[in-house]
A and B are shown apart, each in its own frame.
Chain A
Amino acid sequence: MSKNRLRQVLVVLLSVMLLILAACGKSGGNNAPANQGSSGSSGSSGSSANADGGQKANTDEIVELSLFIDMPWYPLKEWKGPVAEKITEKTGVKLNVTVATDDNQLPLMIASGELPDLVFTYFGINRLSDSKLSYPWNELIEQYAPDFEIDKTRIAIHTMDDGNFYTLRNAFATKEEMDSNPYALGNDGNPAIAVREDILQELGNPPINSLDNFVNVLGLVKEKYPDMIPLTMDINWIEEYFQQQLGVEAAFEQWYENDGVVDYAISHPKMLDFYKFMNNLYRKGYILAENFAYANDQIDDQYAVSGKAFAHAHTVSVADSDNIKIKDAGENFSFKLLPSVISDEAVMVNSGLGFAGTFITRSNKNPEASIKFMQFLASQEGKELVMFGIEGEHWTWNEKGYPDLKYDPSDTEFVNSVGVKWWYLYNDGVMEGLLSYVPGTQKTQALLERKEHTIYKPELGLIQTQPDSEEATIKSKIDEMVKNESVKIYLAQSEDEVVKNYNAMMDNARKQGLDKLVAWANEIYQKKAPLFK
């Protein structure tokens, strides 16, 4: 054999060897749990259930479970504080917490098979509702906690096509539950606009009880204070307040229903009126073009708190939180909220299904302790403990029926150090709503006003695309296109251009598959809507 030939053969042999070595790893991998701290004792947790669903823990047998919180911004990163200790005392469970650094971490864990015992997520709900990844709660309840009662609506909302439910989202309440408690208010995810009280007074306190009045006042501000921005808007809350006032029943990327037929928000009959309204604000100079390009959600705060803006659009907390910052900065002006409803056409539809859910993964070492832990959190005692703190020490019930808190719920340092609210791996919208009820605050007043006008349509929230499905791809393309095209429409030079750009956007959406998406949504709606009747 020639030297060259020998060399070639050796090269091929070497390459094959390398390939074989690369392909061989430790088979089965290192199945150590992703979180080093998980010890998850097997078998009974050594505790007994009481009528409340809580358990008296045998402190000699504390079960450690690993919890992954799929939210990089989560304020609590360790299982510590009086609330956490109390939960451990009641359930015998201690959590080793890992908070995500970014959105890729959970998919990495799923793909590599290194899931922790529990996962608390909102983006990953559809992905984790899979029997290969998570234990169905119904099976665990049947086996370990037959006295864990859950209402049929919640079960219906979370039941997947395979007939199982794998989690229950927190922050959800039915209309009946919310109506049954007058002090249960909505959450911070509601839009509002605050205006400078002092400037309003200087203008002679003109009434702002309609959208036209509001626009007129912006005009007066622009005339009298040419250096001031009449209206600054948080980058994430530009549209919703005005959409609701103008009768648009769904925000962007959501669905609305009329006479049993579902359609996409951009197709709403009043959406064009909304675009015209926003364009009018821009052409009159009441909003800045740069507002649509803010890189973060603090730039508008900067304008408002430094006294450079008259009106500030954000959430229902905007006036309260701006006023705190203004006071800290030593300034002497303040903001007050506009009424939640300033138009006869105003419509507020709540189609939410809750916020986030906890999954008991297939890697869980102690499913029994896990489902009993969730059972405690779902009990009245558990909900109160998680949401308000330790009764007697942090709060008490008053005779009216809402908690008297011994702390300020907006004092984030206290709230986070005690662990109030953030261990709500399961909780409900009523309890969370009670936390919002702080008499005397503008936020509470605004939420009370909104509650009177809110219509509940949770069945719309069930129209959710599955990960990697064709509908998900179509929806994602359309949403991205709408985001970009909307800015063009807002910044059009005339109303005719607004109409032209809007029609062009709708044509684009149809080309991208809007009709197919809507047809699919109606199919889902027809299937799911009866669950709520």
Chain B
Amino acid sequence: MAGTVWSQVQKDRVMDISVTVILTLMMLTMLYPFYYVLILSFSKGTDALVSGVYLWPKNFTWENYYHLLRDPKWYQAFLVTVARTVSGAFLGVTFTCLVAYGLSHRDLLFGKVYFIIVIFAMYFTGGLIPYYVVLRAVGLLNSFAVYIVPTMLSTFFLLVAISFFREIPNELKEAAHIDGANEWTIFYRVVLPVSTPLIATISLFTGVGQWNAWLDSAYFVQSEQLRTLAFRMIEVINKSNAPSDAIGAANSVSTGVTSYSLQVTAMVISIAPILCVYPFLQKYFIQGIMLGSVKG
């Protein structure tokens, strides 16, 4: 008997070791490209072309960061991006939760109609040109508000939030009613405090979406003061992607082709801040992906 138990432990140990090794290898395979980008950002431009950069830069240098960050446009873009991320996430959460709370009441008049409108809007869109025309008609073009207002209500998270709010026991709300609370008070003092995972999840996804968005900065904004980090990154990368027939016809081998190390530096600068914030919200992310799922 003792021999059988020992062999089982051994088997478990071998399995654990195998799984750990395989997962570690997979992790390294997935992490290495990111690490490679990081070390290239600390490499000279020519080193990115010459092979030999594997685990550490051949010639460690800060010049790529210096080159980009000394440009005041990047500071401005950083400020704009932080502002839109914070305000976009806050207003997105607020608005979505308010609308979701209202819609979570099953006895809401015309509730089904609102649902149909939300679902329809989630699946169908007019396209870029009608969207542009609408933004122009409401006067949002070339303003900071174009980053915030159109994304204040996320239909996907609205449905998730509705599902979440419906899970909150009615008894809580009834008890608050009996104590004299009105709907605003119930929402603010009863519902929101128990909705931390929901709020964190929506904040995280909305915030990341705001941080990475560049399309609105490219199409709907002309002022250089309102450009975002992601847009600046696209600019740096675009400089290197001139089609060769265009360069040839433009009579120049070099349009100021950005070295690859400069491009990756732009990427690192663009993603670093959000990477720093993410670990603090990670537990909510893991909880959040289960939100809205069918519960028993």
- The interface-forming segment of A40-48, A96-104, A143-151, A334-342 is A96-104
B255 touches A412 (CB 8 A): yes
B248 touches A188 (CB 8 A): yes
Residue interface bits A134-161, CB-to-B below 8 A is 1, else 0? 0000000000000000000000000000
A118 at the interface (CB under 8 A from B): no
Interface size on A, as a range, is 35 or more
Query: In the complex, what's the smallest C-beta–C-beta distance from B214 to chain A, in angstroms?
Result: 8
Complex contacts, B47 vs chain A, CB 8 Å: 329
Contacts of A171 in B (CB 8 A): 249-251
Closest to A305 in B: B49
Cβ-based interface call for A71 (8 A): yes
**Is B21 positioned at the interface, with any CB of A under 8 Å from its CB?**
no
B128 — nearest CB in chain A belongs to which residue?
A108
**How close is A30's CB to chain B, nearest CB, in angstroms?**
5
- Are B256 and A416 in contact, CB atoms less than 8 angstroms apart? yes
A26 within 8 A of partner (CB): yes
Q: Does the CB pair B244–A317 fall under 8 Å?
A: no
Are B132 and A328 in touch, CB under 8 angstroms?
no
Tell me if B254 is interfacial: C-beta within 8 Å of chain A.
yes
- With contact pairs A25-B137, A101-B231, A111-B129 given, residues A421 and B244 touching in the complex (Cβ less than 8 Å): no
Q: Residues of B contacting A26 with CB < 8 Å?
A: 137
Contact check, A315 vs B253: say whether CB atoms are below 8 A apart. Answer: yes
On whether the beta carbons of B231 and A122 are closer than 8 Å, the reply is: no
Interface with B: A72-80, A211-219, A389-397, A448-456, which one?
Answer: A72-80
A99 to B255, CA, bound (A): 14
The answer to whether A122 touches B128 (Cβ under 8 A) is no
A493 within 8 A of B: no
For window 1-52 of A, CB contacts with B under 8 Å fall at 10-11, 14-15, 18, 25-26, 29-30, 32, 34-37
A102 touches B218 (CB 8 A): yes
Which residues of the partner chain A approach B51 to less than 8 Å between Cβ atoms?
302, 306, 308
Looking at the assembled complex, report how far the CB atom of B231 sits from the nearest CB atom of chain A, in whole angstroms. 7
Closest CB-CB distance, B220 to chain A, in whole Å?
A: 10
**Measured CA separation A301–B240 after assembly (Å):** 13
Q: Cβ of B2 < 8 Å from any Cβ of A? A: no
Query: Which A residue's beta carbon lies closest to that of B143?
Result: A36
CA distance A450 to B249 in the complex (A): 16
Q: In residues 27-67 of chain B, which contact A (Cβ within 8 Å)?
A: 44-47, 49-52
Q: Which residue of B lies closest to A110 (CB)?
A: B129
* Residue with the highest number of chain A CB atoms closer than 10 Å, among B46, B235, B239: B46
Interface membership of chain A positions 339-380, coded 1 if the CB is closer than 8 angstroms to chain B and 0 otherwise: 000000000000010111000000000000000000000000
B286 within 8 A of partner (CB):
no
Q: Is the CB of B49 within 8 A of A236?
A: no
Interface check B19, CB cutoff 8 A: no
Q: Tell me, in angstroms, the Cα distance from A34 to B136 when the chains sit together.
A: 10
A519 to B197, CA, bound (A): 67
Determine whether the beta carbon of A413 is less than 8 Å from that of B253.
Answer: no
Question: Could you mark each residue 218-233 of chain B with 1 if its beta carbon is under 8 Å from any beta carbon of chain A, else 0?
Answer: 1100110000000100
When the two chains form their complex, are residues B50 and A302 in contact, meaning their CB atoms are under 8 A apart?
A: yes
Chain B, residue nearest A387 (CB): B251
For A74, the closest partner residue in chain B by CB is B255
A268 CB-CB contact with B under 8 Å = no
Taking the complex as formed, is A470 at the interface, i.e. its CB lies under 8 A from any CB of chain B? no
- Contact status B249-A302, CB under 8 Å: no
The proximity string for A residues 420-444 relative to B, scoring 1 for CB distances below 8 Å and 0 otherwise, is: 0100000000001101100000000
Given A98-B222, A187-B251 in contact, is the A305-B46 Cβ separation under 8 Å? yes
B-chain residues with CB within 8 Å of residue A433 when the two chains form the complex: 251
Q: Which residue of B lies closest to A112 (CB)?
A: B132
Is the Cβ of B252 less than 8 Å from the Cβ of A421?
Answer: yes
User: What mask results when residues 248 to 281 of chain B are scored 1 for a CB within 8 Å of chain A, else 0?
Assistant: 1111111111001000000000000000000000
Chain A residues near B218 (CB-CB < 8 A): 101-102, 105
- Which B residues lie within 8 Å of A73 (CB)? 238-243, 246-247, 255
Query: Would B49 and A315 count as touching, CB distance under 8 A?
Result: no
Can you list, as one digit per residue, whether each of A313-335 has a CB less than 8 Å from chain B (1) or not (0)? 00101001100010011010000
Q: Complex Cα distance A133/B250, Å? A: 25
Contact with B along A452-464 (1 / 0, CB 8 A): 0000000000000
Residues 200-236 of chain B, each 1 if its beta carbon lies under 8 Å from chain A, else 0: 0000000000000010001100110000000100110
B133 contacts A by Cβ under 8 Å? yes
Beta-carbon contacts of A282-316 to B below 8 Å, as 1s and 0s? 00000000000000011001100110100000010
Does A104 lie within 8 Å of B128, measured CB to CB?
yes
Please determine whether A236 and B141 come into contact, CB atoms closer than 8 angstroms. Answer: no
The distance in angstroms between the C-alpha atoms of A15 and B144, with both chains bound, is 32
Whether A75 contacts B256 in the complex (CB less than 8 A), given A112-B136, A301-B49, A325-B49, comes out as yes
Q: Which of B50, B129, B219, B249 contacts A306 (CB 8 A)?
A: B50
Residue of B nearest to A189 (CB): B248
* Contact in complex: A302, B136 (CB < 8 Å): no
Q: What chain A residues lie within 8 Å of B141 (beta carbons)?
A: 30, 32
Chain B hits for A413, CB < 8 A = 256
A100 CA to B218 CA, complexed, in Å: 8
Q: Mark B128-140, 1 if CB is under 8 A from A, else 0.
A: 1100111011010
Q: Can you give 13 contacting A-B residue pairs, CB < 8 Å?
A: A34-B222, A72-B241, A75-B239, A99-B235, A101-B238, A187-B249, A187-B251, A305-B49, A321-B253, A321-B254, A352-B249, A355-B251, A435-B251
Contacts A34-B222, A356-B249 aside, 5 further interface pairs with beta carbons under 8 A come to: A26-B137, A30-B137, A101-B214, A187-B252, A298-B49
